[in-house]
Chains A and B, each alone.
Chain A
């Protein structure tokens, strides 16, 4: 009977080998994944017990951890919580959610591999480990101006430094108070969260980079104009149809101009004039002539369809697929299935401002260790060359004229040349259009590029156009940056 006993011992060896393998898989190979799970209470308690890094705007901490006496040891506090809620997100008992708290959780909590050597030294010195501090690119004045401007309306605003891609402001309204979600009282936390989550106006959604996205309306005409000018067939003086409406193939419904007014008395306009007056028939015609591939390629060069993280994920913008001619005409004026984020439209403005180069947007200027040494600092990078410098210059000149003498007059700033474009995006029968404005300033030396959207045109009477509602907000943001 010895031979089978020996074989049995081989089987026993195999059984134990399997246990060693499964243990290794759990405790080594997949340990990081398991520890990173949102419902992992151990990780949560461990990170709560560690002092989480701060989030800075300028020199001021908008999110920081203060010591408490309870089992969690620290309480997260948000200064100016409602102003920065969509930038910070919140850190609750259930983990980090939204904003930088979630996107840079590893750095803030101190679990990131970038902090490895610091952690090792903490291990030996017995110092309690700390998370890294994030210094944001935000300009508090611009952020405040954007928030005040949108006020109690729903909407969003993004400001970029066109030269670097640094995000100067990111506002989404309505907002919420992250302090109400950072407490240690579970029942209260749950109730607040359920209430915010279920609220009809969805305050937890960051409309600036996500949510359901917006139809861009006429601000998209900048992209169409860029495609036309880059195509080589068109110049700013090319003549386009400019009647009260444009006949479309395949359908009996024509493409009307805003208010059914002709763009010019002659029924024809130049490309420059078309942008200044936001002439729908001209751009509809342009879109059909250029074709959807050209239009889509131009949009892609501004960043449409790109997966961006700033470090929060930016929902990719798009102009729809498989368009027929009438749909293409609609798309060229920013309607039909065009869906964009305010971040994307700010990138369009910034690309034009920066000689045609779109910079990669980013929100974190530098990561600072607990010993105040800089662990990482932002390295601005090009995303793409959207248009040539010549085309950018022509577009700038046309957008300056739009603000000087066209639909964007409300964005004028004394002593500074502002380039801009209005938009009034329809989104369904019988509903008021979204008011849009994108701009940058100063036109000859751009320091800020802005995109503003106010849902349903805001509450200011029947004047729902982007020029009336959104342009003043953009102006205030630019003024805040230029100190005027």
Chain B
């Protein structure tokens, strides 16, 4: 016999409000700190910028109170803090490059942030129940793969820094891979919920592993082919790893079969190895990764080396915001923003940022555990895992765990597409968590059923 101690559990919105104020406060302190370190004065526009940032994030908080009352209270403060710290660091790189607030990258990022919050709000308002997304499973699938391969098209697809992951329409440039991540997560979740029985039950056992039937291998082979295509033709190891890892993880969650992981890993390793043997650009990446400081590698690119030296210069406690030289590393405000933080906030600061990411992922996975429908479970797990994997690919790339790739650090790095996609991802997670944490509908009804003494067998 269990006792329900509280019939109306706390929604956590008040906790969220306090944490939000704290997050904005930390961002404000960082901004003031930067101003004092670089110009010796409290930066102009502190009040306006602080109020603006607080306003935007409070608006989102109010939308949550209105449309997703029981959503997870930790996610929004974490993302607010990450996004704000990213803004401060981008502004810091602007200063080092001789740009001020009015013509810097930070202003653009600020506008993108506002737009991203707007889109996230819209997702929450329009999408009343995440299960509605299941209807668009195949549209999401087609759209996701199309977005993924869009940069390969002539004219609009452009190559930058050796990777072909951008599309350009007039003055607008966009990295469709970030949005593809969301669409594909939706597609995988919808598809796997339908087919999980076939994928998880049928098959025969070899060496303790239950291997799937050959005909069930289709989807994984398709995903594998697509991710290899991304690796080879877009020269983007990060996205490739991200999409395939996402698919395999969701496949595993759906089927609970370890054999899928073995097959997936085997396929990826084999594919990546063949790509290494065949393609020069993959070999270059591997050389830069394994032998970063060799003369040949430095001749090709000393970006990674510079990033590493920046992190080393920061040491344990960092140089302090505005007092290091993160601008010595190229792309210090986007792909290499993690080393920038490492240099100025030190190992301790990076630990804090990694902990924020880990907390965010953990809340997402907890949402997955708490969700009652299979689609929501899969989607929440997939989105959370994609976030974790992206962190691993980005931070692992700049700290030499894996070869360096062109992914952005979620919420931190400069880049509009990344911000939009990740705020939308946050909105989806919040939507699912609202569903997961919502108390069971109408407990009085259940009590009435129990009181009638008719319930002999409790159905699951």
Q: Which residues of B are found within 8 Å of A265, using beta-carbon distances?
A: none
A45 touches B325 (CB 8 A): yes
Among the stretches B64-72, B158-166, B251-259, the one at the interface with A is B251-259
Q: Which residue of chain B has the shortest Cβ distance to A37 in the bound complex?
A: B309
A31 touches B399 (CB 8 A): no
Whether B321 sits at the interface, judged by CB under 8 Å, is no
Size of the B side of the interface (Cβ < 8 Å), in residues, is: 50
B357 touches A16 (CB 8 A): yes
Partner of B308, one of A4, A6, A34, A46: A34
B347 touches A28 (CB 8 A): yes
Q: Which residue of chain A has the shortest Cβ distance to B346 in the bound complex?
A: A27
A23-B311, A23-B347, A27-B346 known; A15 vs B362 contact (CB < 8 Å): no
Q: Which residues of B are found within 8 Å of A40, using beta-carbon distances?
A: 309, 313
Q: Which residue of chain A has the shortest Cβ distance to B249 in the bound complex?
A: A8
Q: Which residue of chain B has the shortest Cβ distance to A25 in the bound complex?
A: B399
B309 touches A8 (CB 8 A): no
A8-B385, A19-B354, A22-B401 known; A35 vs B368 contact (CB < 8 Å): no
Whether A127 sits at the interface, judged by CB under 8 Å, is no
Among the stretches B49-57, B132-140, B390-398, the one at the interface with A is B390-398
Quote the shortest CB–CB distance from A124 to chain B (angstroms): 14
Q: Which residue of chain A has the shortest Cβ distance to B251 in the bound complex?
A: A4
Residue contacts A-B, CB under 8 angstroms, 30 given: A1-B374, A1-B377, A2-B369, A5-B253, A5-B368, A8-B365, A9-B362, A13-B358, A16-B354, A18-B392, A19-B354, A19-B392, A19-B396, A19-B399, A20-B351, A22-B396, A23-B354, A25-B399, A26-B311, A26-B400, A27-B314, A27-B342, A28-B315, A31-B312, A32-B312, A37-B293, A41-B306, A42-B313, A43-B313, A45-B325
Partner of A12, one of B347, B388, B396: B388
| Separation of A31 and B311 alpha carbons in the complex (Å) | 8
Whether B361 sits at the interface, judged by CB under 8 Å, is yes
Q: Which residues of B are found within 8 Å of A25, using beta-carbon distances?
A: 399
A-facing residues in B293-328 (Cβ within 8 Å):
293, 298, 302, 305-306, 308-316, 324-325, 328
A15-B388, A16-B388, A24-B347 known; A42 vs B358 contact (CB < 8 Å): no
A41 touches B328 (CB 8 A): yes
| Separation of A220 and B362 alpha carbons in the complex (Å) | 76
Q: Which residues of A are found within 8 Å of B391, using beta-carbon distances?
A: 15-16, 19
Q: Which residues of A are found within 8 Å of B310, using beta-carbon distances?
A: 42
Q: Contacts A8-B365, A8-B381, A39-B305 known; list 8 others, CB within 8 Å.
A: A4-B253, A5-B365, A11-B249, A12-B388, A15-B392, A16-B388, A42-B310, A46-B313
| Separation of A19 and B347 alpha carbons in the complex (Å) | 11
Q: Which residues of A are found within 8 Å of B368, using beta-carbon distances?
A: 5
| Separation of A293 and B253 alpha carbons in the complex (Å) | 75
Whether B419 sits at the interface, judged by CB under 8 Å, is no
Quote the shortest CB–CB distance from B457 to chain A (angstroms): 23
Q: Which residue, A15, A22, A30, A41, has most C-beta atoms of chain B within 10 A?
A: A15
B385 touches A12 (CB 8 A): yes
